[in-house]
């Protein structure tokens, strides 16, 4: 079992649907991240949580809503998305301090298609 698990692996949704992406880490890390990966573009950092508090929010539209109920779980709630939101959404975790803060462990991603 990978250290960072993302579900679902694939998601197809209409623009009026509400869905959620889930991420769980089993590494004892206390920082978690959401990234968006679109074709032929660099990874875009969306949100960062450290010790369950949001510390980074890179001007992400409000139709994306993160939730971090504890240091092991991270959600990305999706509602009224647009077709251009179709992408691979990657979750990652790390230590929040020290040299371990520089090494991210990633999940396998959730491939989202918005129709």
Partner 1 sequence: AQTVTQSQPEMSVQEAETVTLSCTYDTSESDYYLFWYKQPPSRQMILVIRQEAYKQQNATENRFSVNFQKAAKSFSLKISDSQLGDAAMYFCASKDSNYQLIWGAGTKLIIKP
Which positions lie near partner 1, rule CB under 8 A?
2, 31, 33, 40-43, 45, 48, 50, 55-56, 88, 90, 92, 102-109, 111
- Write down the least CB distance from residue 16 to partner 1, Å: 27
Question: Do the bridges between strand 10-13 and strand 110-114 make them parallel or antiparallel, or are there none, so unpaired?
Answer: parallel
Whichever of 81 and 104 has its CB closer to partner 1, that residue is: 104
Give the Cα separation of 71 and 46 in Å (integer). 17
Q: Which residue has the tokens 């993302």?
A: 6
Whichever of 80 and 86 has its CB closer to partner 1, that residue is: 86
Give the Cα separation of 38 and 44 in Å (integer). 8
């Amino acid at each position: 079992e990978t250290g960072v698990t993302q579900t679902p692996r694939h998601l197809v949704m209409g623009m009026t649907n509400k869905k959620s992406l889930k991420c769980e880490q089993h590494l004892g890390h206390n920082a978690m991240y959401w990234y968006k990966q679109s074709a032929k573009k660099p990874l875009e950092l969306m949100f960062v949580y450290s010790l369950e508090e949001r510390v980074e929010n890179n001007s992400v539209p409000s139709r994306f809503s993160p939730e971090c109920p504890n240091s092991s779980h991270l959600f990305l709630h999706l509602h009224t998305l647009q077709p251009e939101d179709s992408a691979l959404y990657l979750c990652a975790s790390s230590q929040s301090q020290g040299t371990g803060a520089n090494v991210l462990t990633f999940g396998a991603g959730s491939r989202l298609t918005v129709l």
